[in-house]
Amino acid sequence: MNVSLAFDLQAVVQGAAWEATNVAAGPPPPGSVWVGDQDRHDHAFTAQARVDVPSDGHCHTVTLLTQESPTRIRHVVVPRESPHAFRVAAFPNPLDGPILPGPADVTVGCDHLLTTRFSSVPPGGDVELGLGVEQGVKVARNTRYGEQTTGLITGTLELAHEISIEVTNLLAVKTTVEVRERVPRPADEKEEIKVEVVRSDPPWERFVQPSPPTRSTYRWVVSVGPGEKKTLKASYSIHLAARLELEGGNRREAH
């Protein structure tokens, strides 16, 4: 009796390899992911010393290497959305290879601060880790609004908005605070609606947030000493035909 079988040998081998890696070993530790070709990295990590990995079919954490990197701490706040200032640690990737996505424990001295997560970082890339809210940096935002009609013939309405932000450092050390603000912008470029930044004191700079992309976003980056308070001011005007009204009301800032 002749028996003929038809199957995809390569698919069977690949499936067996996947099961050996993902099923027999069980799920990865919390926050960890299996490394795959979607990370677009081709690199072998060499351990600085011998490591023993028990062959018991379970995941184990082993130390491969230790590297140091200079770290910069700053505080980022978007007072239009929230008065909380968030600590951000930034440092360059000190490895010859990539930093792979996965969990990271952050400690200050001997104290465990929090557990966060790395994104994939290429060699030479910059790493940023959010370290939570800093209660020692206080931010207060106040606004003023006024409107007037200009032009006897055209009848143009000017909506003037003023922003004042107070940044207070209650920490015992000097710190850098990045304050982000956004100026309204028409959804479509229409000649009958114009937005003009009148002034900013101290001068701010344009800020492009990569993901999700933002438009008409600015930021101040200021250094604030221990116990010091700094005031940041900006104003902008919206010009539109007097017969028009902005959707949601002409006042764009909260009371």
pLDDT, position 199: 92
pLDDT, position 58: 78
Quick check: 184 and 235 in contact, CB under 8 A? no
pTM, 2 dp = 0.72
Could you say which residues of the chain have pLDDT below 50? 24, 255
Closest C-alpha to 226, from 176, 163, 189, 153:
176
- Domain boundaries, given as residue ranges, for the chain: 86-133, 137-241
pLDDT, position 186: 74
Closest C-alpha to 59, from 102, 24, 105, 98:
24
Query: Torsion angle, CA of 115/120/126/132, rounded to 10 degrees?
Result: -20
pLDDT, position 87: 92
pLDDT, position 181: 92
